Amino acid sequence: MKQISVVIVGGGLCGLMAAVVLQRQGLEVTVLDKGKGVGGRLASRRLRHGEAVGCFDFGAQYFKAQDPLFLAWVEDWLNAGVVKVWAEGMGTETGAIRSQGVKLYRGEPSNRSLAQYLAQDLRVVNQERVNSFHWQDDVWQVHCDSGQVYQGDRLVVTAPLPQTLDLFETSAIKLPDYAHQTLEAVTYDPCFSLSLLLEQPSLVPDPGGLWLSGEPLAWMACSTKKGISPQGYGVTVQAGPEFSRHHLETDAAQVIQLMTEAAQPWLGSAVLDSHLHLWRYSHPQNPLDQPFLFGDFPGPVYFGGDAFHGGKVEGAALSGLAIAEHLLNSLAKG
Ligand SMILES: Cc1cc2nc3c(=O)[nH]c(=O)nc-3n(C[C@H](O)[C@H](O)[C@H](O)COP(=O)(O)OP(=O)(O)OC[C@H]3O[C@@H](n4cnc5c(N)ncnc54)[C@H](O)[C@@H]3O)c2cc1C
């Protein structure tokens, strides 16, 4: 029997979960990602200043596992030592507790490690930006900026939906109206995420995460109390959607200054170094209830990611798993 090949655009959690399941079932899977490493919005970085080295999760902060299917995966990851329970609830600046009694997980040693663990046996090509697709002779041709062309019997696209729609437009593939309208309906908030390497421990209370008023800042996390930064003190500061949208074109140095000033009550220390990242598509505001979208447009293609299945890390993972299941079932049915 001919081995079925699948090209997956995006090495975030959705793409990686789909890839792991499909490869285990003997399919030939290639994951393409424009980033330097895997993980997408499961993103971690280091900042160094002299002896001090801070580690920061500057995308997703933690995740929940409420669906039994996802929980089973998380339990495997706990056993493998690639995730930990960070806390069971997180405080707000007014003293209230959100998600009280709910396990909030993080990657170990940091969130990107989970993506690296999933990718370890996969064929992942990083720094490979896809620019167009063509369905030719019953095979998807996936063209990249590098000049490489990857071929697949099935295509899975997990980029944020505005980027996905741009790719199809560039490819001159007209999606059916219902598909285009479904994908176009999902809108995303931008989010500035600022990593600050500190001289002294921060004032963020235990267990190291703090929900703020929402604007200009929505959230702060102390990397040290979170347990991801043993060699340096640091905080991750996230701006709210209004602030982020308002400052999309503002000079980065000014955004850093404004966010650092707003975070001052919780810093308690001089800042040794900083790094600002803009997530243009941080969270879908109105994720779709369905786990993915599938169609012959004109060849078999799946649209997945956190725009589906309720959003967030758990939604992205479940979307990837649902895509893999549907694809395998469709092959079994011939
Ligand atoms: C600041 C921030 C905080 C968050 N906090 C939380 C949280 O606390 N809890 C929670 O559950 N969720 C949180 N989230 C959301 C969570 O990170 C996402 O829901 C989840 O990681 C999305 O996974 P994904 O696979 O759908 O998409 P992504 O992780 O975005 O993966 C998509 C991948 O596609 C790649 N890509 C895009 N276009 C191309 C192209 N043309 N060619 C090749 N590759 C391409 C990208 O590089 C990316 O790696 C947060 C997100 C942000 C930004």
Which structural domain range is residue 312 located in? Answer: 1-36+126-186+287-334
The answer to the question of residue 69 being in a domain is no
Task: Check if 54 has its Cβ closer than 6 Å to any atom of ligand 1.
Answer: no
How close is the Cα of 284 to the center of ligand 1, in Å?
Answer: 10
For atom 33 of ligand 1, the residue with the nearest CA is: 10
| Coil vs helix vs strand at 316 | helix
- Residue-wise pLDDT tens for the chain (334 aa)? 578 999 999 999 999 999 999 999 999 999 999 999 999 999 999 999 999 999 999 999 999 999 999 999 999 999 999 999 999 999 999 999 999 999 999 999 999 999 999 999 999 999 999 999 999 999 999 999 999 999 999 999 999 999 999 999 999 999 999 999 999 999 999 999 999 999 999 999 999 999 999 999 999 999 999 999 999 999 999 999 999 999 999 999 999 999 999 999 999 999 999 999 999 999 999 999 999 999 999 999 999 999 999 889 999 999 999 999 999 999 998 7
The answer to the question of residue 270 being in a domain is no
The answer to the question of residue 10 being in a domain is yes
| CA–CA distance, 243 with 237 (Å, rounded to integer) | 13
Overall number of domains in the chain: 1
The answer to the question of residue 292 being in a domain is yes
* Cis peptide upstream of residue 207 (ω within 30 degrees of 0): yes
How close is the Cα of 39 to the center of ligand 1, in Å?
Answer: 7
For atom 34 of ligand 1, the residue with the nearest CA is: 10
| CA–CA distance, 227 with 223 (Å, rounded to integer) | 6
| CA–CA distance, 186 with 160 (Å, rounded to integer) | 9
Residue 8, domain CATH: 3.50.50.60
The answer to the question of residue 50 being in a domain is no
- Which amino acid, residue 265? P
| CA–CA distance, 186 with 282 (Å, rounded to integer) | 12
The answer to the question of residue 22 being in a domain is yes
The answer to the question of residue 141 being in a domain is yes
Task: Check if 158 has its Cβ closer than 6 Å to any atom of ligand 1.
Answer: yes
How close is the Cα of 278 to the center of ligand 1, in Å?
Answer: 12
Number of Cβ within 10 Å of residue 151's Cβ equals 13
The answer to the question of residue 5 being in a domain is yes
For atom 4 of ligand 1, the residue with the nearest CA is: 60
